[in-house]
Structure 1
Amino acid sequence: MLKLFKKNRRTTSEYIFDNVNMFIMLIICFITLYPIWYVLVNSLNDGIDAMKGGIYWWPREFTLENYKAVFANPGIVTSFGVTIAKTILGTVTHVFFTAMVAYALSRKELYGRKIYMFIGVITMFFSGGLIPYFLLIRDLGLFDNFLVYVIPTMFNFFHLIIFVSFFRELPASLEEAAKIDGANDIMIFLKVVIPLSMPVIATIALFQGVYQWNDYFAGVIFVNNPELQPIQTYLYKVVAESSSNQMMLNAPGGITTKTVTSQSIKLATMVVTTLPIVLVYPFLQKYFVKGMLIGSVKG
């Protein structure tokens, strides 16, 4: 018993090492989280008072007028609807299409499978550039079209590699049993492979869902119609083009614009657009880690 107690005791160097690591991690967490807290605090403070500075931890003059001004603009509500729609539709189509292609490429009997994989790997490192891509989107009729958020994002080769690695580990006996029962490849994919692949499907869905929610580039480049622009593009315009001034001009009479400034509305808009994914992401982090490890270790 005494030997076990001595064996479990930490040495002085181990104790110091652990505490130094903890201190460094606390500093990193503070550096990471404090900017978010700073934006939140200033967005809840009176805009005129915030211009004086000195607000670091708590609102000095608490107010919700900034958020009232943000939601008074119907554009942000429409942008939220577009973002939710493109996130759901884009994620569902991406997972199904990528899984379908990955299932085909995971079959050893597929003719030219190695050539397809080689071509796909090349696309991960080289692209045609933005101008050819823009011309392609325009010629396909996707410019100023909601489907520009869905069709170009239906396939991702990196996600395909994760799917292929997972599909290759599924027992071949399950497919053989399904074929004996008269199932074809489509039925096997839908009724056997998909139900067994829920862990990797959940992982890829989270990858794509976060991407769809945070993507602003497609709305900036390929969409001119304000009613089709997502919330992140809306935020981009507020910050980069000072459109918050226009929001103040359009604020209804119930909002005290004397306490609202361009900067305070920018901060409130940033909180509104990023808060949903910030709240959800910590609960999904474990799936992201698992997704990166799927297929990398074989038992």
Structure 2
Amino acid sequence: MPTRKRSSYVPEELLFSVLNYVVIILACLTVLFPLLNITALAFNSGADAQRGGIYLWPRVWSLQNFTEVFTQSHMVNGFLVSLFRTVVGTAASVFMTALAAYALTSRTLPARGPIAFMIFFTMLFSGGLIPYYLVLKDLHLTNTIWVYIVPSLYSVWNMMVMRTFFQQVPVELQEAARMDGLNETGIFLKIVLPLSKPVLASMALFNGVSHWNDWFTGAFFVREQQLKPAATLLQEMLVSQEALSQSLLRPGHAYEMLDRMQVTGESLKMAMILLVILPILFIFPFVQKHFTKGVSAGALKE
């Protein structure tokens, strides 16, 4: 008699798989629900949103929130500043960090060990905010567009990950290139970088997200409103709208004023948040295939 094929899952493995799926689904829902709620409030009329009860779908569709965002003073300019610092800052940071990481892989680099230790030491201790501000001021970087780019050219953690990845590039390829007459610059540009696309894509994603979401630099080191990025303007908008909402809700103020507002502070805040996070959501799928490979390969050394 033909034997019956056993299931590939024993009860313990099946229970473990079910628990894994349940945990993953719950984790996805905890991330997805706030995003859907923000989207629903952003596309809903601000006056109607004051009634509450909006969770996953707009009740009264409206684009007035987004129209109001782009009519705000310096808002369009803020997105241009964010775009400039993200593109230029990411490209410059990845290239300069890769240069430093490649130099640290050279066995002929004088005092390579002490240099690597000094670089790593900066990850453990910092000079503090006030000395950092004084350095930026002495370099004439404060209140300029370059305060977003120059201080972030190098990331020690990214440098260490890149160095580990570059050490996995076969030495035979580099030796063959030297025999063909390539210098170190040519080896770096024509051999090391093309073979390191996964880690470069991962580091570019890290840098891009950091530049796009950074509000601290614009809030503390820039005074000119036209030089502030979208994230800083969003933070200022949240503070001002919260103060306005609290003042309107004080005793003695007309509550019907809130009912007549088609755009409220809460709806405006949701529209701005959605505009800030959408670029990252659109870019991530294109680098996702390189992301895991780059981080895991760069973090482990054979």
TM-score with structure 2 length normalisation? 0.88
Secondary structure in 1 aligned to 2:74? helix
Does residue 264 in structure 1 map to residue 267 in structure 2? yes
User: Contact 2:165 / 2:299 at 8 angstroms: preserved in 1?
Assistant: no
Percent same amino acid at aligned positions? 38
CA distance in 2, matches of 1:213, 1:112: 36
Matched with 2:164 is 165
CA offset at residue 266 of structure 1? 1.2
CA offset at residue 175 of structure 1? 2.2
Matched with 1:251 is none
CA offset at residue 240 of structure 1? 1.9
Secondary structure in 2 aligned to 1:197? helix
CA distance in 2, matches of 1:74, 1:281: 30
Paired residues, number: 289
Matched with 1:5 is 5
TM-score with structure 1 length normalisation? 0.89
Matched with 1:148 is 147
User: Contact 1:244 / 1:265 at 8 angstroms: preserved in 2?
Assistant: no
Secondary structure in 1 aligned to 2:5? helix
CA offset at residue 296 of structure 1? 4.3
User: Contact 1:78 / 1:227 at 8 angstroms: preserved in 2?
Assistant: yes
CA distance in 2, matches of 1:185, 1:280: 33
- Name the aligned partner's letter for residue 290 of structure 1: K
| Worse-superposed segment, 146-155 or 14-23 | 14-23
Does residue 52 in structure 1 map to residue 55 in structure 2? no
CA distance in 2, matches of 1:258, 1:206: 39
User: Contact 1:216 / 1:230 at 8 angstroms: preserved in 2?
Assistant: yes
User: Contact 2:205 / 2:284 at 8 angstroms: preserved in 1?
Assistant: no
CA distance in 2, matches of 1:208, 1:57: 32
Gaps of 5+ in 1: 246-256
**1:85-107 Cα deviation digits (max 9, x unpaired):** 11111011111111111111101
User: Contact 2:93 / 2:207 at 8 angstroms: preserved in 1?
Assistant: yes
User: Contact 1:79 / 1:227 at 8 angstroms: preserved in 2?
Assistant: yes
User: Contact 1:207 / 1:288 at 8 angstroms: preserved in 2?
Assistant: no
CA offset at residue 74 of structure 1? 4.6
1:275 pairs with one of 275, 278, 282: 278
- Name the aligned partner's letter for residue 189 of structure 2: L
- Name the aligned partner's letter for residue 139 of structure 2: L
Gaps of 5+ in 2: 245-259
CA offset at residue 179 of structure 1? 2.2
Matched with 1:35 is 34
CA distance in 1, matches of 2:2, 2:133: 73
CA offset at residue 202 of structure 1? 1.7
Matched with 1:202 is 201
CA offset at residue 282 of structure 1? 4.4
**1:147-197 Cα deviation digits (max 9, x unpaired):** 111111111111111111122122222222222233222222223322222
Q: Name the Cα RMSD after superposition.
A: 2.4
CA offset at residue 115 of structure 1? 0.4
Matched with 1:20 is 19
CA offset at residue 269 of structure 1? 1.1
- Name the aligned partner's letter for residue 235 of structure 2: Y
